[in-house]
Amino acid sequence: MWPTLFRKVEMVAPSPEVIATDDEDELHLDWYRQGSNRLAIVSHGLEGHSRRPYVLGLTRALLSDGWDVLAWNFRSCGGVMNLQPRFYHSGATEDLERVVNHALSKAYDTLFLSGFSMGGNLTLLYLGQQSEQVDSRICGAIAYSVPCDLAGSADVLAKPSRKIYMQRFLNDLYGKMKEKSEIFPDVVDVGGFETIRNFREFDDRYTAPLHGFADAEDYWAQCSALGRLRDIRVPALMLNAADDPFLSDQCFPDDQTKLGAHVSLEAPRWGGHVGFVEHARDGYYWSERRAIAFLQNLV
């Protein structure tokens, strides 16, 4: 909670860009360029956006290490509602792929991927799907607080002890669904939304039908990165804090047959969910220092 409530990261203003999708929608990007031939792409978390403190903190660290940075917004995030009834979900790798391909068209020599929470699952799932076909310019990835077991993590967040987190997500999602219902009244209905208490109910009612899944279970099964980790073919580090209140036990795979040859898991005792707070004079958090150290072993 500390970074969300109190962290301020001073940054130069990004250069915004909007790119089109194949289904007549759009993605909103924030570019931080300093003439580097290396680019890092940063994906935010559920109901986040490209200018959240955790995104800006990593962006600042990457810039200081000589990288250009591209932070992007999932559909409907970043203060601009997208144009289609669908919005975003944990397995929307077609959008990440579009962002990656757009970035590679800019003639960067090296690309690095990073993601937080849902964005971490999306990043690892994308790399697992790419597998042997992954572009040779992608050097690796780091993913933080990853709910790679979506079903299990949904069950954890449904616990009474996690009600404060669950209610905050639902409040944010209600505002989004209400706006969708005003634009697409024949597709999205928010009547009775107040009866929704957890992600199973939300995903059954909205995420699954709007994105072509049979139900929440089908969505979670198809979009969890856990089963695709072994297919990843670039060095990837997953950082899941042992005290993360959102993650199931399955989000801490200790079996190399699940992780595969290229993925490693670190589970620091502390860190919470996308926290990893460090009170240092330079303002960097532990997670940002870890990313730079990891990168310096890659390139």
User: What HEC string does 158-210 produce?
Assistant: CCHHHHHHHHHHHHHHHHHHHHHHHHCCCCCCCCCHHHCCCHHHHHHHHHHHH
In angstroms, the CA 14 to CA 42 distance is: 13
Reported confidence tier of residue 7, pLDDT bands at 50, 70, 90: low
Average pLDDT of the residues in 245-256: 95
pLDDT at 72: 98
pLDDT at 5: 56
- Angle of helix 150-157 relative to helix 216-223, nearest 10 degrees, comes to 130
pLDDT at 280: 75
Average pLDDT of the residues in 68-81: 97
Reported confidence tier of residue 132, pLDDT bands at 50, 70, 90: very high
Average pLDDT of the residues in 31-55: 97
pLDDT reading at 137 higher than 60? yes
pLDDT at 6: 55
Give the residue from 259, 8, 35 showing the smallest Cα distance to 143: 259
Structural contact between residues 20 and 26, judged by C-beta atoms closer than 8 angstroms = yes
pLDDT reading at 60 higher than 90? yes
Average pLDDT of the residues in 246-267: 96
72's enclosing H/E stretch is strand 68-73
CA-atom Rg of the chain in angstroms: 18
Provide the 8-state DSSP code for 26: E
Average pLDDT of the residues in 257-266: 97
Instruction: Out of 97-111, 117-131, 246-260, 277-291, pick the least confident.
Output: 277-291
In angstroms, the CA 115 to CA 102 distance is: 18
Residue 281: alpha-carbon gap to chain centroid: 28
Q: Which amino acid is at 242?
A: A
Model confidence pLDDT, tens digit, residues 170-225: 999 999 999 999 999 999 999 999 999 999 999 999 999 999 999 999 999 999 99
pLDDT at 85: 97
The whole-model pTM stands at 0.96
Reported confidence tier of residue 62, pLDDT bands at 50, 70, 90: very high
Residues ≥6 apart with Cβ < 8 Å to 275: 1, 2, 3, 241
pLDDT at 1: 63
For residue 175, what are its two tokens?
């505002």
